[in-house]
């Protein structure tokens, strides 16, 4: 299974990691990234639609709730 991450998702992840590095520590940002990769891998195994899983948005709990709602 192949994961597809549009550029906006990479931007989402970068913003979240920057947030964690700013308010906590680089280690917390690394833990977030490791957990995100783990969950994306599980999603790829769970949601089979052809051979691709597209992640459309990654949201931080402190972000605006409508972030990414219109992404397709």
Per-residue pLDDT 10s for the chain (72 aa) are: 677 888 888 998 998 889 888 999 889 889 989 999 998 888 777 755 567 777 777 766 655 555 555 555
* pLDDT score of 56: 72
* pLDDT score of 64: 54
CA–CA separation, 49 vs 19, rounded Å? 33
* pLDDT score of 46: 74
Pick from 29, 44, 6, 4: nearest CA to 60: 29
């Amino acid at each position: 299974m192949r994961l597809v991450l549009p550029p906006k998702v990479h931007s989402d992840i970068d913003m979240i990691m920057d947030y964690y590095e700013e308010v906590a520590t680089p280690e917390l940002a690394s833990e977030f990234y490791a957990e995100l990769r783990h969950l994306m891998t599980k999603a790829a195994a769970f949601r089979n639609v052809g051979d691709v899983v597209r992640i459309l948005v990654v949201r931080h709990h402190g972000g605006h709730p409508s972030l990414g709602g219109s992404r397709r």
